[in-house]
């Protein structure tokens, strides 16, 4: 058992990273909730086998219903989050828990500003998409570097397709290609970091939009979508835990 004061110092030091950034009240409340939950694992020295981190699609993922066979599984998803905010909280919500494996899926919310312009009638071109993705790449690399340094195996799960046709279709495909390239770069350096193509498990026959796997919002999968995602992720988890080559 660790000293609670040690954990207080940890969160006081790490939470300095949050000062001065513009966060929603919901994000701040969820982070405070995670501090309380994380303290249970940290102070009681409870081993964590898998930690999921991401946005609302992760937050709604009942991970223990799918992955409890692998041990202790925790969910650190926050709805509405963008990749930069995950990178900021990653030391507290993942690294401090020292999981064997972390599974990250995040990025669709970074289309928010572009989507506002799109709704105002502006055409969103490939240059706009590329510029936004370039701003995101350093945050994915920061997350990968933190896991590599901590000896945590990392699975970047695809950003999922949406169920409508607009500029986001191209954005998601290009972002997933960039994430996959980051994984290849780190893997080549010996880091246990890989890409899991969950996109293909839920995409329709046209390879662009999501299959009919939501309750109408065309974004968040229901049970049949999560079933497919879990089926895709399990072999990666099994290989990482078994030290088999991917």
pTM, full prediction: 0.94
Q: 55: closest CA among 138, 142, 158? A: 158
Q: Is 126 exposed, middle or buried (0-12, 13-18, 19+ CB in 10 A)?
A: exposed
3-state secondary structure of 94: coil
Could you give the CA distance from residue 211 to residue 171 in angstroms, rounded to a whole number?
A: 18
Q: Where are the alpha helices (DSSP H) in 100-222?
A: 112-119, 126-150, 167-188, 199-202
pLDDT in tens, the chain (246 residues): 777 887 877 776 555 555 455 666 788 899 999 999 999 999 999 999 999 999 999 999 999 999 999 999 999 999 999 999 999 999 999 999 999 999 999 999 999 999 999 999 999 999 999 999 999 999 999 999 999 999 999 999 999 999 999 999 999 999 999 999 999 999 999 999 999 999 999 999 999 999 999 999 999 999 999 999 999 999 999 999 986 545
């Amino acid at each position: 058992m660790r000293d609670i004061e040690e954990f207080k110092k940890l969160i006081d030091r790490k939470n300095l990273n949050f000062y001065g950034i513009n966060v929603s009240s919901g994000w701040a409340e969820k982070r405070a909730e995670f501090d309380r939950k994380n303290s249970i694992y940290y102070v009681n020295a409870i081993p964590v086998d898998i930690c999921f981190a991401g946005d609302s699609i992760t937050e709604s993922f009942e991970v223990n219903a799918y992955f409890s066979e692998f041990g202790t599984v925790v969910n650190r998803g926050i709805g509405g989050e963008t990749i930069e905010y995950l990178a900021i909280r990653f030391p507290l919500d993942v690294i401090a828990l020292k999981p064997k494996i972390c599974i990250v899926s995040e990025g669709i919310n970074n289309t928010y500003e572009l989507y506002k312009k799109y709704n105002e009638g502006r055409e969103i071109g490939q240059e706009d998409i590329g510029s936004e993705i370039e701003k995101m790449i350093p945050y994915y690399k920061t997350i990968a570097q933190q896991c590599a340094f901590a000896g945590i195996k990392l699975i970047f799960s695809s950003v999922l397709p949406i169920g409508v046709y607009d500029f986001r279709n191209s954005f998601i495909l290009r972002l997933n290609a960039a994430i996959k390239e980051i994984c290849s770069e780190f893997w080549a350096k010996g880091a246990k970091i890989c890409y899991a193509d969950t996109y293909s498990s839920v995409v329709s026959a046209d390879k662009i939009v999501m299959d009919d796997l939501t309750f109408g919002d065309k974004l968040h999968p229901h049970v049949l979508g999560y079933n497919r995602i879990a089926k895709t992720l399990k072999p990666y988890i099994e290989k990482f835990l078994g030290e088999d080559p991917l």
